[in-house]
Amino acid sequence: MKLYLHPNAPNCMKVVMTAAQLDISLESEFVDLFQGAQRAPAFLAINPNGVVPALRDGDFVLWESNAIMQYVAATKPGNTLWPTDERRRADISRWQCWELAHWSPAVSTYLRENMFKALKGQGDPDPEALRKGDEKYHPLASLLNRHLASRSFLAGEDLTLADISVAAFLMYARPARVPLDDYRFIRSWMGRMEALPSWQVAQPPPRT
pLDDT above 50 (res 208): no
Q: What is the pLDDT of residues 59-88, one digit of tens each?
A: 999 999 999 999 999 999 999 999 999 999
208 or 45, which is more confident: 45
* Domain segments of the chain as ranges: 2-74, 86-196
Question: Coil, strand or helix: which one is 14?
Answer: helix
CA atoms within 13 A on the CB side of 145: 14
Q: How far is CA 16 from CA 47, 58, 101, 139, in A?
A: 18, 19, 21, 29
pLDDT above 80 (res 89): yes
How far apart CA 138 and CA 25 sit, in angstroms, is: 37
| CA Rg value for the chain | 17
Q: What is the pLDDT of residues 104-137, one digit of tens each?
A: 999 999 999 999 887 777 889 999 999 999 999 9
How far apart CA 193 and CA 180 sit, in angstroms, is: 15
Amino acid residing at 155: A
CATH number, domain 2-74, options 3.40.30.10, 3.40.50.2020, 3.30.70.20, 3.90.1420.10:
3.40.30.10
CATH class of the domain whose range is 86-196: mainly alpha
Residue 119 is predicted with a pLDDT of 75
26 or 34, which is more confident: 26
pLDDT above 90 (res 13): yes
How far apart CA 80 and CA 58 sit, in angstroms, is: 26
Residue 207 is predicted with a pLDDT of 59
Percent of the chain residues topping a pLDDT of 90? 90
